[in-house]
Chain A
């Protein structure tokens, strides 16, 4: 039985390991946002462009699920799973990552939003056919930030859960996943009922109710994702 302090030390070491792993992840994310800004204002300005806050949201929705698939892959799990790290610590670190990564990414988008405002002002002073408008208020920013964070965490947790099950039971999860995707593509009734269910879940929401629903789905995903990692076999 490990003592409390050695568990804490192991967790810190594990988190530090993930921090080193995710440095390149953040470099990619930083480069994408920077590249979008450069293309937006300097290379080929499009007639209309949206802000970093929205670009970041889409990037998070794509990059974080991919990151979750990677950290639950065979090689990554085995690499991290070495004494004194146990299964509970591993899951706890994954949950911390799922909670912290979107927060950092969204905060980075705020920084890029300010850079955009600065560049917009600069562009305004050198061209006559460029215009910009603010479509943001204090409340819409705060609510948008909070709901975006919850939505990203929820999607990331769901991907982590599916990836964890896939890691443990590749064939059944692969077959069910493929059948689900094919059903969505080819069976109209199935597609309508799935989208109907999602629509009912998110129909006419208020921010509080939507946050509650997303939090419940996230917690369920954490609990379900814990099961296969808890049963993980190590040679």
Chain B
């Protein structure tokens, strides 16, 4: 191969590395994108608040990443991060199908069933998976969807 072509290719590769670095956000900027204020509620359900409830199952939100959290709210909520490219919040508001199944009479245990009636595709422009070995970087993966329950509820799984 021509020497100049080789030099041009080498420069292109080094520039690619520099560009990926330049386009990546800093740790602080990334974490601020996934702060609790950056999530929008796309579905909310009334649940009994005078019991110590247990959420038995929450089915997978594949292809999205999900985290289950307890917070100071009075409903069961499905929240989605507003910084996902492609306006995921509006899509889920229009297409998400969420059902709650309570154990009759006591209402202290419930199951959730979440489905996407339309096909959905997700691409995660993620860093090298090897950083998952380090605790600090595991926090920098972000969750696209939060399943939030009131503080008097716990997750069984």
- 28 pairs across A/B with beta carbons < 8 Å? A47-B62, A48-B122, A48-B124, A49-B122, A51-B124, A107-B14, A110-B13, A110-B19, A110-B20, A111-B12, A111-B16, A113-B125, A120-B125, A128-B91, A130-B86, A131-B88, A131-B120, A132-B122, A133-B83, A134-B125, A134-B126, A135-B126, A136-B25, A136-B126, A139-B137, A139-B140, A202-B133, A207-B134
B-chain residues with CB within 8 Å of residue A205 when the two chains form the complex: 133-134
Instruction: Choose from B62, B84, B137 the contact partner of A143 (Cβ within 8 Å).
Output: B137
Interface code B60-88, partner A: CB below 8 Å = 1, 0 otherwise?
A: 00110000000000000000010111101
B126 near A137 with CB under 8 A, answer no
User: Top 6 closest A-B pairs, CB basis?
Assistant: A144-B128, A48-B63, A135-B126, A111-B16, A131-B86, A107-B13
Asked if B101 is at the interface (CB within 8 A of a chain A CB), the reply is no
Q: Interface SS of chain B: helix, strand, loop or mixed?
A: mixed
Pick the most buried of A54, A107, A136, A141: most chain B CB atoms within 10 A of its CB: A136
B127 to chain A, nearest CB (A): 4
Q: How far is the CA of A114 from the CA of B27 in the complex (A)?
A: 20
Within 8 A of A (CB), among B92-147: 118-131, 133-134, 137, 140-142, 144
Apart from A40-B123, A110-B17, A132-B123, 14 more pairs, CB < 8 Å: A46-B121, A47-B121, A48-B122, A107-B17, A120-B85, A120-B125, A129-B119, A130-B86, A135-B142, A136-B20, A141-B24, A141-B128, A148-B128, A151-B130
B13 near A137 with CB under 8 A, answer no
Asked if A231 is at the interface (CB within 8 A of a chain B CB), the reply is no
Instruction: Find the B residue at minimum CB distance from A40.
Output: B123
Q: How far is the CA of A206 from the CA of B133 in the complex (A)?
A: 9
Q: How far is the CA of A75 from the CA of B157 in the complex (A)?
A: 57
Asked if A86 is at the interface (CB within 8 A of a chain B CB), the reply is no
B72 to chain A, nearest CB (A): 27
Instruction: Choose from B14, B29, B125, B133 the contact partner of A132 (Cβ within 8 Å).
Output: B125
Instruction: Choose from B12, B17, B25, B84 the contact partner of A138 (Cβ within 8 Å).
Output: B25
A-chain residues with CB within 8 Å of residue B118 when the two chains form the complex: 129
Instruction: Choose from A53, A131, A202 the contact partner of B128 (Cβ within 8 Å).
Output: A53
Q: How far is the CA of A130 from the CA of B21 in the complex (A)?
A: 25
Instruction: Choose from B20, B29, B85, B88 the contact partner of A113 (Cβ within 8 Å).
Output: B20
B128 near A107 with CB under 8 A, answer no
B24 near A134 with CB under 8 A, answer yes
Asked if A117 is at the interface (CB within 8 A of a chain B CB), the reply is yes
B-chain residues with CB within 8 Å of residue A137 when the two chains form the complex: 24-27, 29-30, 127, 140
B-chain residues with CB within 8 Å of residue A107 when the two chains form the complex: 13-14, 16-17
Asked if B5 is at the interface (CB within 8 A of a chain A CB), the reply is no
A132 near B124 with CB under 8 A, answer yes
Give the B-binding residues of A (Cβ under 8 A): 23, 40-41, 45-51, 53-54, 57, 104, 107-108, 110-111, 113-114, 116-117, 120-121, 123-124, 127-145, 147-148, 151, 202, 205-207, 210
A-chain residues with CB within 8 Å of residue B81 when the two chains form the complex: 133
A124 near B86 with CB under 8 A, answer yes
